[in-house]
Chains A and B, each alone.
Chain A
């Protein structure tokens, strides 16, 4: 049976089929991707100094060099540790916040909601500076004699503060699709409040919790400004280390290390998508 193909005739509002708009879209995408692709290509550049200017042949030695750089690897281990710990606490705090906002009606709720979303909107630099002042006023600034991983606690606190509101938002969106009849049915059948929470609400929240966790993890790995202010001389994270390397000189080693992080982020994004499933019906 011949099918009526509507898509083959472009209507006046099929903007995605207009050549000019398509060109803008393609150029915009090239604009977004070109620097990252160039960075990855130049991480294989066999050039000692100023490795970013001229292509001098293929090599993987800068990967070996990056992985052999102890300070860089320690910074990377710090970043991962901070990301894991802050993600766990962020998800717990985020879930509690989401449940409060979804479940309860209480006086000053708009204020509570505003307070929770403030860390999302205020400029990073203000948050970095205020936390740095807070830690130094409290005498919590790391001096270097605290044992690993406790010397990372300031950075972890800072990371939780800016990432749990994001996690709360994601989890709250998930909660909105919860069917309250399920809960009532369970209660009618004699389930306690706690059982309802563990057996019904929590499984329903799970995709939201995972999405929130991945978001918190990425935010933590990504952060530079706030970490820059709250880190001590001996608590360097991956972005802070890269920053000081960039300030010192541009080497292919930075490109190699960056490429490793980009690929990690890509993998995380794909895991996130597998859990969330790309939504075709918004």
Chain B
């Protein structure tokens, strides 16, 4: 680590381009939509910043409140599913043999490198009413039906008259399926790295002191992995909340999330000020979540230090 006082020239040569780039292409653009969010459309192409709060007031309209509620709910459920599925998967990788570990990690990461649009598009084939998932469920239904007939319960019609395919495209379930699908690797990695760093002797100590497997998992394993689980929750939730493609392609316009409404303001409705206000609201929610996390981290390290 070097002090910059006697090396100002070198310091600016290295930091200048980055700063300039970020200010010009990141801070200024955000500033522009911040200004627009207080603006009004004066003509088809001109927006004047009149410092009106109307765009933010419109955020309180019932449809937008409903949209926010739905987006938060879908992101929340998807995150929960990711954590519930991701934790056991991360646990398997973290306790696998040294030789297998990198390959299992690669196995999880590989789909993650595949284009997001293509992955979402691929789900169309899986989730359709005549898609592969319904094929599978229909097949399972047939087998279960045969089994029931075999043991003489066929007449009771326990499974209903016939298999009715699930409607997934255009429903909340389909969108949640899609968000889980694209963000599962995101959830697995941080949990994995916190489990990996964990001191395994603590688990043994817990068992030696007479705790059961389940008690050890509940009172030792999960609390120790909690920082990783929190990180996983945040980095799954934030992109999930801003998802555009999944609700767009799998929701078929029936299950809009925040990003879809933002897109409509800019691409079709041509209401840039309102679109800017929604974008900034999404941005503020993100900042609050990030702040909560760093607040949480700080509280934790204070507790550890004590």
Question: Which A residues are closer than 8 A to B by beta carbons?
Answer: 7, 12-17, 21-22, 24-25, 28-29, 31-36, 38-39, 42, 52-53, 92-93, 96-97, 99-100, 103-106, 112, 115-116, 118-119, 121-127, 129-134, 137, 157-158, 160-161, 164, 193, 218, 221-222, 224-225, 229, 239, 242-243, 246, 250, 254, 258, 261-262, 265-266, 268-269, 273, 278-280, 282
Contacts and interface: CB of A to CB of B under 8 A. Distances in A.
Nearest to A7: B97
Contacts of A13: 95, 200, 203-204
B4 A106 contact: yes
Given A53-B130, A133-B276, A262 B18 contact: no
Contacts of A105: 1-4
Contacts of B196: 282
A121 B262 CA distance: 18
Contacts of B111: 32-33, 36
A132 B266 contact: yes
A122 B283 contact: yes
A265 B110 CA distance: 9
Contacts of B258: 125
B124 A266 contact: no
B238 interface: yes
B295 interface: no
A29 B184 CA distance: 10
Interface residues of B, number: 94
A92 B272 CA distance: 34
Interface of B: 1-4, 7, 10-11, 14-15, 17-19, 21-22, 25-30, 32-33, 36, 85, 88-89, 91-104, 106-108, 110-111, 113-119, 121-126, 128, 130-132, 181, 184-185, 193, 196, 200, 203-204, 207, 213, 216, 238-239, 241-242, 244-245, 249, 258-259, 262-263, 266, 272, 275-276, 279-280, 282-283, 286, 290
Given A115-B22, A126-B283, A133 B262 contact: no
Nearest to A225: B244
Given A52-B128, A104-B11, A161 B110 contact: no
Contacts of B93: 16, 25
A7 B97 CA distance: 9
Contacts of B266: 129, 132, 229
